[in-house]
Amino acid sequence: MLSFLSFFLALVPGFLTVAAQDTVSVPETEAELQAVDTNWVYLLNADIIRYEEYINPDAQRLMGNVVFRHDSMYMYCDSALFYQDRNSFDAYHNVRVEQGDTLFLYGDSLFYDGNTKLLRVRDNVRLENRTMILLTDSLNYDRNTGLGWFFDGGTLLDEESTLISEYGQFDTNTNMAVFMDGVSMESPDYTLTTDTLHYHTDSHTAFFYSPATIINEDNVINTSHGRFNTDNKSAVLLDRSVIEQNGGESRMTGDSINYDSESGQMEGFGNVIINNYKDKIDALGEYAYYNSQNDSAVLTGKALLIEYSAGDSLFVHADTFRLATFYNEAHDSIVERQMRGFYKVRAYRPDMQMVADSMVFTTKDSSLTLFSDPILWNEESQILGEKIIFYMNDSTIDWAHVIGQALFVQMNDDIHFNQIAGREIKAYFKNSEIDYADVNGNVQAVFYPLDSDSAMIGMNTTEGSSLRTYFKERAVNKIVMIGHSNGVMYPMEKLDEKKMYLPNFNWFERIRPLDRDDVFYWRGKRAEEQLKKSSSNKEVPLPTLQGDRKRRRR
């Protein structure tokens, strides 16, 4: 009993001794701090220091207002185990790490190794710098590289957005964050989801390298490579990206797209496709521009419009297409929209083809105007003039107006053609097929009447001031002269070859588009085939958007 008591009394002093004398001396002035060896972790303060030799002989137990310093970094906590020989410590409760005015790190516990300069912070972790806050439960931070990373879910907060992922990294030197696995970036204006995202907290720019979706009030963006600025909501989208608008009613697809939400502008580059599902029109080209604020657009580079509202699709090509919208400033309402095509317009549909130098479609009167030597083919019929205007009704032709040197030709065979020429032709349609046409001004006609077996019985030539032509199954059925006229009927065996063709007759089969791909290959009239110059034969004014008023943002 005495020997046990003697042993116990000998043990207690070593167990309870305050160990301040066993620690290194504490620098007190800034000069002393600068003079110390920066390789070592220094204890600057602790209310209580204990050395528990028989329980944890490698550690000093610190309690109350504990402060460590390692070169330029200060670490604070309520209690700690200081492994002085190993140049490391475990810190607990109200852990705070400060490095200059750029890095602040908080957590419930911390292990720091002064040799590797690696911090391991756990539970209620918060990393702050000038531009962001990172929240997680497990964070490692390497002071050598300035890189911190979490692996059990984390949230980054900055002035513009909230970013969430399962795994992430943050570089305090470059202020670049990397997030992986279930990445979600949200703000009041948009939501971005992807699997891999790099985010620069100074410039507020997100870079994505895997399939990503950005959703805001106006658009749904799908891309796999690009960048997005959260300040001005602008994006550069690569690798065949898609922007959907108006609840999916329209979309732009391109090899790359530049998008600016504030200005409402989009630019597509390379194999651009614009789908307008509401109006059933597709637009294709190498370059496309669209401004949602003034509803204007430009399409060029093998530009092609495909209209598929009824039956077979119509393919229309021009060097450039422009969409212009005009507004009533007093009522902030649309007055008119124009789609302009220039130059070398060519169009193909199985039942109809056309060529012209330029075209304009306007919603004001639902009309399509072809300028400068336009030609229209409908199966075995051809119509041309200085200008042709089609007036539409629910996407179908209501009537057409051929102005200046108008000529209608219908082929019976390779030699015999029905022909009608005049100053103008007004053709009226019924059930999408021509019903009758009125021809006015210096009218000339060559017509081959048919018998009951559809055989030609002769050639009728006539001249007058006006006539009306009736059609049946798209072929000339009857011609009625209006007012004074004169004419001659020639039997088939006594045809006058000199009178078989009108002076301005020409069958432009060589120019006619053959299929949807042929619209890209321009074949113009020869010099001797050009229309005569007249007062009404003028160039179409070049389209311009300069006068279009910008639509006010709401």
pTM of the predicted protein model: 0.80
Q: DSSP code of 239?
A: S
Rounded CA Rg of the chain: 42
For position 537, what pLDDT does the model report? 53
Domain 366-523 has CATH 2.60.450.10: yes
For position 545, what pLDDT does the model report? 39
Q: Please name the residue that has the structure tokens 């032509």.
A: 469
Q: Is the pLDDT of residue 20 over 50?
A: no
For position 531, what pLDDT does the model report? 82
Nearest CA-CA partner of 362 in 516, 543, 519, 536: 543
The residue type found at 107 is: G
For position 553, what pLDDT does the model report? 38
Cα–Cα distance between 49 and 46 in angstroms, integer?
A: 6
For residues 517-536, give the mean pLDDT.
Answer: 83
For position 542, what pLDDT does the model report? 45
Q: Is the pLDDT of residue 272 over 80?
A: yes
Contact 470, 478 (CB under 8 A): yes
Q: Give percent of the chain above pLDDT 70.
A: 89
pLDDT in tens, 451-480: 888 899 999 999 999 999 998 887 888 888
Q: DSSP code of 534?
A: -
pLDDT confidence of 202, banded at 50, 70, 90?
Answer: confident
Q: Give percent of the chain above pLDDT 90.
A: 62
What average pLDDT is seen over the chain? 87
For position 554, what pLDDT does the model report? 36
pLDDT in tens, 113-151: 999 999 999 999 999 987 789 999 999 999 999 999 999
For residues 30-39, give the mean pLDDT.
Answer: 62
